[in-house]
Structure 1
Amino acid sequence: MDTEAQHMERDRSSGPADGTEEGSRSTHVRERPAASMSWGRTVFLGMLCTAALLLFSAFVLQPFLIPSGSMQPTLQIGDRVLVNKLAYRFGTEPRRGDVVVFDGTGSFVPETAAGGNAVGTLLRGAAASLGLAEPAGSDFVKRVVGVGGDRVVCCEKRGRLEVNGAPLDEPYLHPGDRPSDVAFDIVVPDGKLWVMGDHRSNSRDSRDHLGQPGGGMVPVERVIGRVDWLGWPLGRLGSLEGTDAFTGVRPADGDHG
């Protein structure tokens, strides 16, 4: 009897033949769906955060990668700027001296039918809206020099631009650049903007579209937003400095800017 009792106790205390405890096996089985749920939750949260960033970029603040040197020295190639999309949403219009990002379709580039790979275009657009890729070829960044009603002339006897008869001293110009090598005398229609790059000798801007439909004028409704901050590189992080170059410009008729 004692021998039989000992065998029975050994049988109860002994585990499976492979030495793995039953509790451990059941724990491993339960961990697999738990790990899968954790991975799924991570993917979902990642998608949610991306969607939130895209919405924020679409309506509030959009990163914008500077693709060219047309705005040097104010903006350098590779800078990431933050475009304030609320700047002109509540009745406020662009002012002289503002640095703006705009869609140049119909003014700087011709109207064309959309084409190409739709998925690729969508992904590229999403990356550009997060500042991870160059912007669409129809998006530009320039400085507002004239608003609706302004007469902009190049150039007066000292070689400066004039806006409504007031000569401009433009400290933001690229060193060595003249205000313009192209002579012009234009009046900006209401609801339009005359824009120019700060690197005048390396900027394709309103001057390059004189004589074309639209005359190089950018419709105000095509403005995406105002460049208010520099987000990258870290050494240039901060708000974009304003300018007092237009302080002496008298308002044009009907201008409230």
Structure 2
Amino acid sequence: MTDLARLLRAAALAGGVTRAARTALRRTKPGGAAVWDRTNHAGRDVDLCAGPAVTLGVAAGALAADPGTRGAALIATVAAGACGAYDDVAGAGDPRRGPRAHLGALREGELTSGAVKLFGISAAGLVAGALLKERWADRALAGVVVAGTAHFLNLVDVRPGRAAQAALVLGSAGLVRGSLAAAPMGAAVAVLPDDLAERGMLGDAGAHALGAALGVAIVAGNGRAGLLAHGAGLVAAAACGARVSAWAAKDLTAARQGPGPRA
């Protein structure tokens, strides 16, 4: 199979499975509406069906990707999507945002869903790195890139369509080096219209799954210098995003508490 044929097959398979899974989840909503329905930033009713659907779609598309990277892509995607889904459900209503807040809670003896997600995706990134690289330094850098890209996609998922659009931008460069990026791009295209129309949202499950899969594509296509450059950029983005998340958490807490006493 040629590289172009593998690329098209991965994208088509990911998109088709994503659409089918989203439709099935919307029809059944296992566990009830309370598990799936949310209110977005604009006060509109949306559902989280796209998140698990994207995870399934990207995993299916990974099966059609380069044979030597399928295992890493599957592990990173499924683990990131599962950890994100857990946070979507168990962390609903938790105003704490960003790694610093969740690590702070852990130091006080509380294991938050955000901490579970942080450690779970980081571990999956390291496993994926171990499958893709031979030297320990490269494996560690690969873990940073996979987990960091997953975190980055979730950071930008603050408005309709942002995460899916970011996935398409990041994935377009990865297509030059192989077909790994085709699966997350195909899944992103499948959910983008619904996301922009504010009928559904990716949630942590979808954003993290897309990011982890793209992280694997970046790792597979780069040597140590490239991994260092990507890792540095992701760390910088995470630092900036942590500040934004902290401000958002304060605003959310203040809004829930209502206006304070007037002077």
Query: TM-score if structure 1 supplies the norm length?
Result: 0.24
Q: Which has the higher strand share?
A: 1
Q: Which has the higher helix share?
A: 2
Quick one: higher RCO (CA 8 Å, sep 6+), 1 or 2?
2
Is the radius of gyration larger for structure 1 or structure 2? 1
Query: TM-score if structure 2 supplies the norm length?
Result: 0.23
